[in-house]
Amino acid sequence: MRKIIIKLINFYRSYKTQAHPGDQKNNFTRWLYLLSRGNVNLIYKAYFNTAFDWKQLDIEVINKLNNTMPSNPEGCLLDKVNDLRTRTQVSFLVSILKQINAKKILEIGTHKAMFCYVVHLYDNSITIDTFSNLPESQKAVDILSRKYGEYIHYHLGDSRQTLKDFSPNYQIDFAWIDGSHYYEVLMSDLVNCDRLKILNIAVDDYKWSNDVKKAVDKFVAKYNYSITDISNLIDYRGIIHLTRN
């Protein structure tokens, strides 16, 4: 018994001092990390005090969206619906939408249209203009359109051009940017969001990509935006929320 207790203590100490979510791709090890840090509140928030109603998810729809292109668990919003990071990201985004009462959304980086799906489940009155350079994303948009109606407008092509040409006759309330992680492309996307006078912008992978961080930091320094919030330590890649001053 004494040996078992010692092993448990050593195991706890190793997670307390060494582990962090960025190195732990397994959901169980993320739990252990948070428990070892005393962050039980973050686990509770992710699963029980969340801004999104997870019971609404239709696994059949998620599977269809996932099948539109090869899987990428660390880069797709709903690849693992019970994952701590997935729940943290979705809750963070939905909380912003709820706070600002968004009705018109711009998305850069459609991918499998998982964000479009989450948004519709949260509020089916929201419409989305989504931009992607992947033809396969059209298949994902079509799946949602057949089931829920035409609430998504899909724009195919390089966002440096398609977004530049985008001039809607309505105000965009919120922009979600999870497209190219190259500095020049992301900077172009952000500048176009400024051109459109979008009051709230969220950018994924701020803590994970040097180019993303560089672009966001330069944009905030040069344009009339401030950093409002960033997703908690569970989301090691980091979503950053910017607001127009």
> Of 131, 100, 101, which Cα lies nearest the Cα of 115?
131
**119 plus 196 within the same structural domain:** yes
Domain assignment present for residue 216? The answer is yes
Tell me: do 81 and 187 sit in the same domain. yes
- 90/125 same-domain check: yes
Length of the chain: 245
Joined together, the tokens standing for residue 180 give 């190219």
Are residues 118 and 190 part of one domain? yes
Provide the token pair at 228.
């409002």
For 168-194, the pLDDT digits (tens) are 999 999 999 999 999 999 999 999 999
User: Residue 30: inside a domain, yes or no?
Assistant: yes
The total of other beta-carbon atoms located within 10 Å of residue 65's CB is: 24
Strands 127-132 and 104-108: what pairing?
parallel
Q: Which domain holds residue 85?
A: 48-244
**What three-state secondary structure class fits 176?**
strand
Residue with tokens 């919120």: 174
Residue 232 lies in a domain: yes
Helical H segments across the chain, by residue range: 2-17, 27-36, 40-47, 59-66, 84-100, 114-122, 137-148, 159-162, 183-195, 210-222
Residue 175 Rama label (left phi>0; alpha psi -120 to 50; beta): beta
Question: What's the confidence (pLDDT) of residue 23?
Answer: 45
Q: Is residue 91 part of a domain?
A: yes
Give the pLDDT confidence score for residue 1 in this predicted structure.
58
Instruction: Tell me how far apart the alpha carbons of residues 159 and 207 are, in angstroms, rounded to a whole number.
Output: 23
Same domain, 125 and 203: yes
Name the DSSP letter for residue 76: -
Distance CA 35, CA 38 (A): 5
What per-residue confidence (pLDDT) applies to 25? 53
Domain-embedded: residue 43: no
Pair (3, 70) in one structural domain = no
Burial 28-63 (b: 16+ CB within 10 A, else e): eebebbbebeeeeebbebbeeebbbeeeebeeebbe
Q: Can you give the pLDDT at residue 110?
A: 95
User: Which pair of tokens denotes residue 146?
Assistant: 């057949």
Low-confidence ranges of the chain (pLDDT < 70): 1-28, 72-75
Q: Same structural domain for residues 20 and 94?
A: no
Domain contains 102: yes
How far, rounded to the nearest angstrom, does the alpha carbon of residue 240 sit from its chain's CA centroid? 9
At position 68, the amino acid (one-letter code) is T
Do 160 and 221 belong together in one domain? yes
Total domains present in the chain: 2
Q: Is 3 in the same domain as 59?
A: no
Q: Is residue 55 part of a domain?
A: yes
- Cβ 89 vs Cβ 133: under 8 Å: no
Residue 29's pLDDT is what?
72
Q: What CATH number is attached to the domain comprising 228?
A: 3.40.50.150
Residue 19 lies in a domain: yes
Predicted pLDDT of residue 84: 84
Q: Which two three-digit tokens encode residue 35? A: 């428990």
Domain co-membership, 21 together with 112: no
Count helices and strands (H / E) in the chain. Answer: 10, 7
Q: Do residue 16 and residue 70 come from a single domain?
A: no
Same domain, 101 and 165: yes
| pLDDT at res. 143 | 98
